[in-house]
Structure 1
Amino acid sequence: MPEEYRHLPLVGKCCSIDEVLIKDAHGNTICASSNDSSTYFSPLFSDFNRTGALVPGDEYKTFTALVGNPCNRRYMLQPEESDDEYYLLVNGSIFAPRLDHVPIMLMPGKNYCMETVPELGLRAFVCFQDVPPPTTDARVIIYACGLLISVPFLILTIVAYTITPRLRDVHGKALCLYCGCLALAFTTLAITQLASGQLSPQACVSIAFVIQFSFVACFFWLNVMCIETWALVHHHVNQRSYRRIQPKTLFFYYSIWAWGFPAGLILISMLMDLSPTIPMTYVKPAFGSESCWFKSDAEALPYFYVPVGILLLGNMILFIITAIKISRYQQVLALRRLARNHHSDREDQRLFRRLKRVFIVCLILFFLMGLNWMMELISWGVGGDPFDWTAFDLVNALQGVLVFGLFVLRRPIRDFVWHRIQKIRGINTTELNVGSMDLALLPVINGDIPERSYNS
């Protein structure tokens, strides 16, 4: 551009001087000469004052036009609609604060051009952005495959506990709901990892809400199992009955806790994300803006990380209290055995060893579920890439396999399940003579578990 024109306002013009945009006989947009004075090309230029406020547009008698069509595919802005609001600045840029999928500042000769359209007046035409074909990182594919591998094992865990009456206690039902929520979360998350480019915006937003609800519900049911473990140790150590509330009533209270809060959270998220009356100054989830999840960790913080973090902190406090109580009670048992060495003391010690195994298994599940999210928070806090924690992601993705091994393949659970399968197949077997499975992996009995015997 010649030096004498550099101080003049600049604008991108689609057609040559004295030409306007019209439709030809085939419906194509072309440039054509016009002698109509009403189609005179005279844009309004805006500017920013010293305070940063946008100054209303003004007409300049002399300006510089950068003539030419910058792209083959473009669309016309409708300034009557609030989302198409734009301002032509004196440096030639268009400031478009509300346009999606385009730069907030449109450059002349690159992103836009303006032209007069008969009966419509002066209009701005914005180029469609060239979107590169989506490429999937190998780590994302491995992670998604791990999620899909976990889902059948989670379903098998649910089936094992559903078909076995002995396992359908409060702890077993909580475990089934935990596995169900996790299977739903893993399935939808794998879909977004592998096929997010093929999903419509509406489907993407809907899946994001499903992922948020199912993961948060997972953590609440995990919290239920942590509370049950703490209650088990607390009542056993204090020589009280394990549960005074009826199982159905207790499970009803747990259900209100584990379903109510996630439902409330998802309703708040939907209101904040979908309601046009909520000001943009509030933190919104912004589902679907960049992916089928929150726009960034900053948006995920109030709607996901904070409630999950509070639950993880509560679970950690419960485990610390339980560990302290177990340690102290173990010392009491050791002193009692040295002082008396009664048969009841030995049985109590054997029972308490099983009690510790229940605690350890739930502790492992807590770390499996919580460690990956804590690593993501740490990564976000230090400004790193969450995928740098590949090992933690892979362990988290294969959580279904680990849950199946911990809660189905261990004895005596597998004995109960196998007995039930044999009974369904019509084979008569002798069921293990153990007590209630209220303690999940630990039947509360005073004696060893007898060996299996089968009568075909």
Structure 2
Amino acid sequence: MCFDIWRTFSGYRGGSSSKRRERKRFAMYGAYAWGVPALLTAVTIGMQFGTNIPDHIITPGFGHRRCWFDNWLSELVYFFIPVFVLVVCNVVLFSVTANRIRSIRQETAILKGAESSRSDKLKKDKQRYGLYLKLFVIMGVNWTVEVISFAVGGSNWYWIVVDLSNIALGIYIFFIFVWKNKVRSLIAKKWRSVRGLPADSTLGTWGTRSSSAPTDDTRVSADESGMRLKEIH
């Protein structure tokens, strides 16, 4: 996600990519999103159940004393170091992107009359950046707290609070990506179709009028991303 938004603005030209390139990019992102966790899981499983592993090699040690890593060193190697590297990379990419957006905004302000299409696309990409930033902040803060708490220690109640906040992330993500007027409109339309009711331009109890053309402030374009966010607004 952070790499995608950085790539979008790093060589900004304001044009749209072809469908073929979008599909290729989506395949690459999918390979990373599923492949890296699968690789880390495979390595962890191999180190956990492998035979003839030298004693000086750090193993996960699941189930030896608890249903987690055996000791702090195993936890550091197999969990917190990967998380720390990921958080640092995300922070760097978002910071560079924010600086790039500021530069593009200044350039676009000067050339706004001559490059209106570039200005419009910049606005849409900035909306997507804002959406990603919201998601990153709530997720990144939690993971950063996890790493810090591991380094400095903490009482049991503190860990309970952190775990509960991580559980609540799913609810937050749901309201960002799913619980939107357009999505509710589509659900209501589908529900009426299933029940054999006539189509209605209003959403009844939702109290929101549907529209085939979402407004600029609620529409998020995914032209420059393989991540399909066109239904998000």
How far apart are 1:323 and its partner, in Å?
0.8
Partner Cα separation in structure 2 for residue 331 and residue 298 of structure 1: 48
Give runs of aligned pairs for residues 39-438 of structure 1, distance below 5 A. Answer: 225-234=1-10, 237-243=12-18, 245-337=20-112, 340=113, 345=116, 349=119, 352-385=122-155, 387-388=157-158, 391-426=161-196, 427-428=198-199, 432-433=212-213, 438=222
Partner Cα separation in structure 2 for residue 247 and residue 368 of structure 1: 28
Q: Is the 8 A contact 2:192 2:199 kept in 1?
A: yes
How far apart are 1:393 and its partner, in Å?
3.7
Structure (1 or 2) with the greater helix fraction: 2
Deviation per CA, 1:207-244: give whole Å up to 9, x if none.
xxxxxxxxxxxxxxxxxx33333344446x42232456
Partner Cα separation in structure 1 for residue 23 and residue 121 of structure 2: 26
How far apart are 1:391 and its partner, in Å?
4.9
Gaps of 5+ in 1: 1-224, 444-448, 450-456
What TM-score do you get using the length of structure 1 for normalisation? 0.41
For 1:355, the aligned partner's letter is: D
For 1:384, the aligned partner's letter is: G
Sequence identity percentage? 29
For 2:166, the aligned partner's letter is: N
Distance 1:367 1:391, change over 3 A: farther
How far apart are 1:287 and its partner, in Å?
0.5
Distance 1:360 1:352, change over 3 A: same
Distance 1:389 1:364, change over 3 A: farther
Q: Is the 8 A contact 2:13 2:118 kept in 1?
A: no
Distance 1:254 1:429, change over 3 A: farther
**SS of the residue 2:111 aligns to:** helix
**SS of the residue 1:384 aligns to:** coil
Q: Is the 8 A contact 1:283 1:299 kept in 2?
A: yes
- For the aligned residue pairs, the C-alpha RMSD in angstroms reads 3.3
Q: Is the 8 A contact 1:371 1:392 kept in 2?
A: no
Deviation per CA, 1:242-293: give whole Å up to 9, x if none.
4564444333222222222222222221121112311232111111122211
Distance 1:313 1:392, change over 3 A: same
Q: Is the 8 A contact 1:368 1:395 kept in 2?
A: no
Deviation per CA, 1:70-114: give whole Å up to 9, x if none.
xxxxxxxxxxxxxxxxxxxxxxxxxxxxxxxxxxxxxxxxxxxxx
Q: Is the 8 A contact 1:288 1:295 kept in 2?
A: yes
Partner Cα separation in structure 2 for residue 423 and residue 333 of structure 1: 45
**SS of the residue 1:398 aligns to:** helix
Distance 1:247 1:415, change over 3 A: farther
Structure (1 or 2) with the greater strand fraction: 1
How far apart are 1:436 and its partner, in Å?
9.3
How far apart are 1:402 and its partner, in Å?
0.6
Distance 1:376 1:329, change over 3 A: same
Gaps of 5+ in 2: 202-210
Deviation per CA, 1:106-161: give whole Å up to 9, x if none.
xxxxxxxxxxxxxxxxxxxxxxxxxxxxxxxxxxxxxxxxxxxxxxxxxxxxxxxx
Where relative contact order (Cα < 8 A, 6+ residues apart) is larger, the structure is 2
Q: Is the 8 A contact 1:286 1:299 kept in 2?
A: yes
Q: Is the 8 A contact 2:221 2:230 kept in 1?
A: yes
Distance 1:364 1:260, change over 3 A: same
Partner Cα separation in structure 1 for residue 65 and residue 134 of structure 2: 34
How far apart are 1:394 and its partner, in Å?
3.2
Q: Is the 8 A contact 2:124 2:220 kept in 1?
A: no
Partner Cα separation in structure 1 for residue 111 and residue 23 of structure 2: 37
Q: Is the 8 A contact 1:287 1:293 kept in 2?
A: yes
Q: Is the 8 A contact 1:286 1:295 kept in 2?
A: yes
